[in-house]
Amino acid sequence: MSTHFFDLDRDGLAQLASEHGFRSFLPKQLLRWVYEQGITDPERMTDLSKRDRERLPDVLDFERSVELTHQLATDGTQKLLMGWPDVEPGPGLNILQSGGDDRETECVMIPTEKRRTACISSQVGCPVGCRFCASGLGGLEGNLTAGQIVEQAWRLGRLDQVDRITNIVFMGMGEPLANYANVTRAIRILNAEWGLGIGARRITVSTVGMPVAIRKLAEFELPVTLALSLHAPFDELRRDIIPWAEHATIRELLDACNDYFQATGREITLEYILLGKLNDQVEHAQELARLARTLRANVNLIRYNEVAGLPFERPVSADVHRFQAILKDKGVNAHIRASRGRDIAAACGQLRHEQRQARVDDECGANGQED
């Protein structure tokens, strides 16, 4: 079974080259072709010998994903729905652990004037089950390997009008800290000067909150930005909308985040999705402000993107701006994140959910016609 190229670091490539009798400078050539030139077809790697070009496909898989859907929004946001065909796990690899063929993930490229941000997934589905989110509607279907995580960012960087990815956010499908080993291995490759060369400060890991894992990440050698998906300032409300919240109180999470700041010097981002009339009222803003002032943090306010079949509403603009004003009046640095890609179902897990539902509807229609 061949090895996934994107799962290997420089030392791993050197070991593979040695084991298969390639020349010692092959890894440097491959890293340049793939990460600098964006080329994964050995036949186009013109400085490789004919023999090496012929042998490489038997040793390395360069791209393991299949592009199922590519959508372009009017604001320039691009979204990919990617399929991961069944593969046999190679030595030491944690290939997707779920069964069946319906294994799909999403990733998004979000452009601004100065940035090209890749929002990538760490799992297929999600174990957290946030009641407002499409990602976890089918539960957790498996972990992505480091290579599958890196391949998402590489693919987004090859899209038209992108040039290069400047920032990475682990805010796609899945709970990154529940796939800690593969996520941190992927971060090393994304950060490496021979890889995508993205600085640690430009990589954000978003978590719903696992105190032990947060403290473990604080010991990671790369000081990435930590974002806590808070979404409610009261424990009871948070447990209502985030099932995993029963495992840790808000106070326990903020204590872990404070430890992260003390270890890394990196200010924490508190992510807060505003759900119309549920968590966007004055009392919620006042309590969120109190919590935010207990640590070095900024608050990122996100308007909810509606998901078909879920009973949550997008907040009205007046409530959003009132919420932000309360936070600022109390000395909290609060931003309202611009809604991007609403015309292409860019919310986390939304495209996969819609396409799966469409397939179910088609099957039901076909069965009805047969009856």
Catalytic residue among 119, 130, 133, 348: 348
- Which letter, b or e, does each residue of 148-171 get, where b requires 16 or more Cβ atoms within 10 Å of its Cβ? bbbbbbbbbbebeebeebbbbbbb
* Residue 65 contacts residue 155 (beta carbons within 8 Å): yes
- In order, the DSSP letters of 295-354 are SSEEEEEEEPPP-TT----PPPHHHHHHHHHHHHHTT--EEEEPP--GGGT-STTHHHHH
> For position 134, what pLDDT does the model report?
82
Least reliable range by pLDDT among 92-96, 155-159, 308-312: 92-96
Q: Which residues pair with 297 in a beta bridge?
A: 268
For 91, other C-beta atoms within 10 Å of its C-beta total 6
- Residue range 261-280: average pLDDT? 97
Bridge partners for 82 per DSSP: 67, 105
Report pLDDT digits (tens) over 47-84. Answer: 999 999 999 999 999 999 999 999 999 999 999 999 99
Question: What local confidence, expressed as pLDDT, does residue 94 receive?
Answer: 43
Tell me the mean pLDDT in the region 249-271. 98
CATH of domain 63-193: 3.20.20.70
CATH of domain 3-60: 1.10.150.530
**What 3-state DSSP class applies to 222?**
coil
Domain extent listing, the chain:
3-60, 63-193, 208-340
Confidence of residue 103 (pLDDT cuts 50, 70, 90): confident
Q: What is the mean pLDDT of the chain?
A: 89
Question: Considering 43, 63, 106, 364, which one is annotated as catalytic?
Answer: 106
Q: In angstroms, rounded to a whole number, what is the distance separating the alpha carbons of residues 259 and 268?
A: 10
Same fold, 63-193 and 208-340: yes
208-340: CATH superfamily: Aldolase class I (3.20.20.70)
Considering Cα of 362, then 364, then 365, then 371, what sign does the dihedral take? positive
The residue-averaged pLDDT of 131-136 equals: 84
pLDDT given for residue 362 in this prediction: 46
Per-residue pLDDT, 156: 97
State yes or no: is 348 an active-site residue: yes
